[in-house]
Amino acid sequence: MKRVILLGTIASVLVLSACKGGDKKEGASENAAASTPSSTPAESKPAANQPKEYKVVFTPDSAILGKKKEAFVKITGATAVAMTDPDGKDNGIELVVKLQATNKQTIKDGSSFSVSYADSRLTLDNGTNLVCKTGTDYIRAQPEATGKEESWTYEIPAGAKPTALNLFYDDTRVSVSVALSEK
């Protein structure tokens, strides 16, 4: 009788431990299956035929220009894309900067202003300064108003990286640091 009770107890312990172990394995596989679909789209890699993109960071992302400090320029975003020829040779980077201006002057005492993309300079790590290749328009604003967002495009030669964006208005100059990193 003692043997039967002992064997029954051992069998019960084995059955319970086998059931508990099976629940853990099922739970782990369910968690892995549940986390796999959500992480796959977020970590999707770009297709092989897409150009290389860079993350662009401006420090600070705004500047105050003008002798009366009336022109507030905000950098609202930027994109940087590697330019390559059909053979894959590096032809540089196309940097598109989006800017918007706010006029700090009052309606009674102020007037409109504009900051020219042709007068801006992009300083590179090799010490050269680039002129803006194209721009949708100057950034401008009426007194106590914010103007529309404009895009300015710079073509950076191969092997160089931008370090600063220089803006000019009313005999004042402000530099904003630029940093590129791979996405």
The string of pLDDT tens digits covering residues 1-25 is: 666 676 667 766 666 666 655 544 4
| Backbone region of residue 85 per phi and psi (left: phi > 0; alpha: psi in -120 to 50; beta: other values) | beta
Give the per-residue pLDDT at 4.
64
Tell me if 95 is assigned to some domain: yes
Tell me if 112 is assigned to some domain: yes
CATH number, position 95: 2.60.40
Residue 73 banded pLDDT, cuts 50, 70, 90: very high
SS3 assignment for 118-177: CCCEEEECCCCEEECCEECCCEEECECCECCCEEEEEEECCCCCEEEEEEEECCEEEEEE
Q: What is the pTM of this model?
A: 0.70
Q: What is the pLDDT of residues 90-139, one digit of tens each?
A: 899 999 999 999 999 999 888 999 999 999 999 999 999 999 999 999 99
Tell me if 41 is assigned to some domain: no
Average pLDDT of the chain is 83
Is the confidence at residue 33, as pLDDT, over 50?
A: no
- Count of domains for the chain: 1
Tell me if 31 is assigned to some domain: no
Give the per-residue pLDDT at 13.
64
- In this predicted model, which residue has the larger pLDDT, 175 or 46? 175
Tell me if 161 is assigned to some domain: yes
Tell me if 152 is assigned to some domain: yes
d(CA 76, CA 63): 12
Is the confidence at residue 46, as pLDDT, over 60?
A: no
Tell me if 134 is assigned to some domain: yes
Range of the domain at 78: 53-172
Pairing mode, strands 113-115 and 139-141: antiparallel
Residue 75 banded pLDDT, cuts 50, 70, 90: very high
Tell me if 19 is assigned to some domain: no
Q: What is the pLDDT of residues 150-173, one digit of tens each?
A: 999 999 999 999 999 999 999 999
Is the confidence at residue 147, as pLDDT, over 60?
A: yes
